[in-house]
Amino acid sequence: MLKAVSIMRPRYLSSFLWLLLLYALIILALLGTGEEKFAQLHLVMDTTNATLSLLLAVFLLGEQYAIQTNVRSYLAIGFGLAAATELLHALIGIEWIGWFSWIAVNSETLRPATWPPSTYLLPLSLAWTFWLMRRNSALRPAVFAAGIVLLTVGLFVLSFMLPRYVDTGILGIQRPTQAPLLLLWAGVIAMYWRERRAHPLYEGLALMGVLLFLSDLCMLYSTSPHEEFAMMAHAGKAIAYTLLHIIQMRIAAEDSRGRNTAEAALRQSEDRLRTIFETEPECVKVIDRNGQLLEMNTAGLAILEADSLEKVRQHALLNFILPEYRAPFAALHKRVMSGESGFLEFEVTGLRGTRRWLETHAAPMRDATGKVAMLLGITRDITERKKAEEQIYNLAFYDPLTGLPNRRLLKDRLGQILAISKRSGRYGALMFMDMDNFKPLNDTHGHDIGDLLLIEVARRITSCVREVDTVARFGGDEFVVVMLGELDIDETGTIAQTGIVAEKIRITLAEPYLLKIQQKGKAETTVEYHCSASIGVVVFNSETSQDDIIKWADMAMYQAKDDGRNLIRFFGLKD
């Protein structure tokens, strides 16, 4: 409640009261001075008031404080044309000679005729401005100006349509017109006073209106253009315009302080954001609609191994991205520019050649109109995470000793081969091999030497088959080879082709193994060991299950061992 009361309290009441006091002192000073004492002062006051009104119009156009659209222009036009009519009223009072002597001759007629426009135009323009403002009208200032000009002309015409008043001089026209003028000013004061919370200028207009109301009230008692009440009226108008000038200057000063405070706050905010931007441990970047890099923080430059933003721009951001990820990155940029957010994992190569995995989250940045103008990307280095994921994957699907697929991955590959066999109609083949005479090596020289032999076995088997074939360690000293590729659609042809590969593997595995032993504190020694493999082979098509394929190949392998080892046996075929 206290806050509401403080908002309603007039902001410029003290300035108004001081000037009202000054006006009261002037009135007291002018009382009892007699008639016809101020002929020259009258002209000076008319000219001064016209100048003050014109300056108000100029200042209104020059100041840029926040106010409703076009209202500033409406007010400037009203004060400007009011100043013109007041100046015209003042000029008629000059003793013209020469070409303009006709003005002096007809001054008794012209001077009263200029009185209504010079007094009514300002309150009427203020009332019209208020009416347009309350309706949020978009009336163009030029149309408003034309309307005020027509209103001025209408007031002149109305003045000449009152001959009974014109005939009696200026007092004859001003007195019957003062009462409506006072009512008009009362309405204008009430209108702008109600709107004083919308903008301080409206309070100024209301307070100015109070002084002008008092000024015109003095004119009601005037009996001569140059006597004391007329001077009171002109002095009141000058004080009213001065009050609005003071209020305008205070508003300008307050707005200036407000702008300075806002600018300082904005600078502090920008500094804080810049500090956050630069110290953020993740890469933060801003990219325009054309894909050009606008901003990148220190963390981002470090990822790209660049010393400055200019180096990144010279190299072009897209060139850091590995070729296979450039199209997805461009698609992400396009999606964000359409107003969506996006996510992408990709690899980059820094200026020093370091490859990194990155994860970026991108969102649109909009301009003041709400249109997407830029992309904001938050990017983190996920290289270590990718390595960890790869390690987890390898542990899950690869044998840690030999690097070959393990039993789990073997089953996955075998399932794929069965699906391919079903589509192509070709046969597949699986070789199951177990190393002969492997256990004595472990018992004699230890498991480390046994591991060296298994690694060499894996290398030899892999060298005997194609890249499309799968070589897996099934467990212990057991290995499996799965073949499809170029095998035949005929079972007999497939058996022949598989037999050739199996024989090549058997011969290769039977060659001597030279295993180097490096024991701590001792010289390196080489152990020569002879070891062979018993190989069981099964030829299959898509109608065979995985379990049967492995079981049959295992049975064929044991048949080879039973027949003397270092042999190849096909399941279902007799020797």
**Is the Cα torsion angle 173, 176, 179, 185 positive or negative in sign?**
negative
Residue with tokens 């290769």, as numbered in its chain = 508
Instruction: Specify the pLDDT at position 171.
Output: 47
> Is 0.75 topped by the overall pTM?
no
Domains of the chain: 10-258 (1.20.1070), 280-388 (3.30.450.20), 401-570 (3.30.70.270)
Closest of 238, 250, 164, 168 to residue 208, by C-alpha: 238
Spans in the chain with pLDDT lower than 70: 1-8, 32-40, 63-66, 90-113, 160-176, 223-226, 258, 485-488, 521, 574-575
Q: What is each CA distance from 266 to 262, 269, 357, in whole angstroms?
A: 6, 5, 37
Report pLDDT for 180. Answer: 86
Cβ neighbours of residue 84 under 8 Å, at least 6 residues apart?
50, 54
Q: Per DSSP, what are the bridge partners of residue 432?
A: 480, 536
CA 514/CA 528 separation, integer angstroms: 5
Cα–Cα distance measured from residue 484 to residue 491, given in angstroms and rounded to the nearest whole number: 12
**CA-based Rg of the chain, rounded to a whole angstrom?**
51
Report how far residue 549's alpha carbon sits from residue 567's, in angstroms, rounded to the nearest whole number.
Answer: 19
Q: What's the confidence (pLDDT) of residue 2?
A: 37
Q: How many angstroms separate the CA atoms of 517 and 525, rounded?
A: 5
What does the DSSP 8-state code read for residue 472? E
Beta bridge mates, 482: 430, 470
SS3 536: strand
Q: What pLDDT was estimated at residue 558?
A: 95
Q: How many residues does the chain have?
A: 575
Report in angstroms the alpha-carbon separations of 267 from 82, 101, 252, 260, 271: 43, 64, 22, 10, 6
